[in-house]
Amino acid sequence: MKVLVIVAHPNLSISRGNRQRVIELEKIQAVTIHQLYQEYPHWTINVEKEQQLLLKHDRIVLQFPFYWYSCPPLLKKWFDDVLTYGWAYGKDGDKLKGKEFIVAITSGGAKDAYRAGAYDWFTIDEYLKPIQATITRCQGTFLPSYTLYGIDDLTNAEIRKDAQEYGKYIIATHRHVSII
């Protein structure tokens, strides 16, 4: 299985969690790492190149820090530009049919803050519904997300351990789910 990890971190050099995840992924031969902010510093996305990358991989991982209950803005632009009508969805838009997708995020907030009645009111999975709906509309298979909570309070050793587990998770066989 060929795995494409689309990393959408605006400043990976200052990241602890996402940077460590990239370092760990560089050790896995079946993984292609694609850093959006590094690739497109002026935000002009090469749609054909991105679509070809997607076609060459079986599983696509969207890795990013959780930004105001969503993804960073360049990843949102990537969705808008790359997942076009007639290619990803709509009439004859079946190029992502059967591709597997995983959302892998880091969050500064604690896990128990993401629940009904708590500080953030909803679970991370509830906040990810728009991305899940997009993937489902494109006939992709949405696999369970992978989240690291409370990153600001974790030690470097805990972050390294998460990165190792994350690397194993994204190449593992998963039971297909599509919950909307």
Q: CATH number of the domain that 26 lies in? A: 3.40.50.360
- Least Cα distance to 168 among 99, 96, 98, 104 occurs for 104
pLDDT tens digits, the chain, 180 residues: what are they?
Answer: 899 999 999 998 889 999 999 999 999 988 999 999 999 999 999 999 999 999 999 999 999 998 887 899 999 999 999 999 999 999 999 999 999 999 999 988 767 777 788 676 878 788 899 999 999 999 999 999 999 988 888 899 999 999 999 999 998 876 554 444
In a domain, 180, yes or no: no
pLDDT of 175: 55
In a domain, 176, yes or no: no
In a domain, 81, yes or no: yes
In angstroms, the Cα distances linking 135 to 62, 66, 71, 141 are 11, 18, 14, 7
Identity (one letter) of the amino acid at 90? G
In a domain, 36, yes or no: yes
Task: Say how many domains are in the chain.
Answer: 1
pLDDT of 180: 43
In a domain, 27, yes or no: yes
Q: According to DSSP H, which parts of the chain are helical?
A: 17-25, 36-39, 47-55, 73-82, 124-127, 129-137, 156-171
pLDDT of 87: 95
In a domain, 178, yes or no: no
User: Which residues lie closer than 8 Å to 68 by C-beta, 6 or more apart?
Assistant: none
- Element holding 118 (H helix, E strand): none
Residue 119 DSSP SS3: coil
62 is in which domain, residue-wise? 3-171
Give me the phi and psi of 97, to 5 degrees please: -55, 125
**Euclidean distance between CA atoms 4 and 27, whole angstroms:** 14
Residue 5 DSSP SS3: strand
In a domain, 116, yes or no: yes
In a domain, 91, yes or no: yes
Residue in the structure block whose two tokens are 């299985």:
1
